[in-house]
Amino acid sequence: MSLTSSLLYLDGVTVSFDGFKALNNLSMVLQEGEMRAIIGPNGAGKTTMMDCITGKTRPDTGTIYFDGTVDLTRLDEAAIANEGIGRKFQKPTVFENHTVRTNIALALKESRSPFHLLVSRLSREQNTRIDEVLDTIRLSHLQKETAANLSHGQKQWLEIGMLLAQDPRLLLVDEPVAGMTDSETAETARLLVEIAKTHTVIVVEHDMAFVRDLDVKVTVLHEGSVLSEGTLDHVSADTRVIDVYLGR
């Protein structure tokens, strides 16, 4: 597989904290347009991997290439975000006092501040884009609602929408369904499948019913490297995966 045909390419990535290897020679390739689920036991290195991709943590060794040519290990967090890599953390961080629609408007690439929004009207294209995002995240009917009044699940969707408004090429989504109801969880899978039609996505999750609904290739991390990779059925039948994770 050539380096340039992949959107994200990690090779031999190692990260040590006081001699302990949170990532140990991790290699993984993601094609443009692919959605990938990352699973694995607590401490497997999932968050550290995301931290390395977004520039929060710098690997001791190894390479991470974005879009074939951009060496992410040489860029800081802001530069990596500018390259088109967006991340949604587990805890939603929406602007509670603003409406759902304003939250999306504030997240638009061109938008800078609430003040900027007040003094300069949004273009028709921007409003159309906001409408599209609201539709994707199932919140059109609540666009005038104050974000503080949303359910936990709806806040997660709003934050995914804020990520989409920035039009990233790669979305990193960390445990999106933690704390959601079953129906919100099922809806989130549908929402991400829809988003993945036009974006490359990495989803970290522990919820196996949700991962099954995504119906994508799964990478199992364990002790900082890839233990198994393939369909959920394939990795679920892997005795090493059962031993360290699924069988417990």
Name the residues that contact ligand ATP, by CB under 6 A. 17, 22, 40, 42-48
Q: In terms of Cα–Cα distance, which of 202, 175, 193 is closest to 42?
A: 175
**Residue among 48 and 200 whose Cβ is closer to ligand ATP:** 48
Task: State how far the Cα of 177 lies from the Cα of 157, in Å rounded to an integer.
Answer: 10
Q: In terms of Cα–Cα distance, which of 199, 194, 6 is closest to 85?
A: 199
User: CB of 91: closest distance to ligand ATP in angstroms?
Assistant: 13
**Residue among 45 and 84 whose Cβ is closer to ligand ATP:** 45
Task: State how far the Cα of 65 lies from the Cα of 8, in Å rounded to an integer.
Answer: 6
**Residue among 36 and 46 whose Cβ is closer to ligand ATP:** 46
User: CB of 139: closest distance to ligand ATP in angstroms?
Assistant: 27
User: CB of 50: closest distance to ligand ATP in angstroms?
Assistant: 8
**Residue among 64 and 150 whose Cβ is closer to ligand ATP:** 64
User: CB of 51: closest distance to ligand ATP in angstroms?
Assistant: 7
Task: State how far the Cα of 158 lies from the Cα of 188, in Å rounded to an integer.
Answer: 11
Task: State how far the Cα of 176 lies from the Cα of 160, in Å rounded to an integer.
Answer: 9
User: CB of 197: closest distance to ligand ATP in angstroms?
Assistant: 27
Residue 71: Cβ-neighbour burial (10 angstroms; 0-12, 13-18, 19+): exposed
Q: In terms of Cα–Cα distance, which of 73, 82, 66, 83 is closest to 32?
A: 66
User: CB of 18: closest distance to ligand ATP in angstroms?
Assistant: 6
Residues 206, 172: contact at Cβ < 8 Å?
no
**Residue among 23 and 105 whose Cβ is closer to ligand ATP:** 23
**Residue among 9 and 245 whose Cβ is closer to ligand ATP:** 245
Residues 55, 79: contact at Cβ < 8 Å?
yes
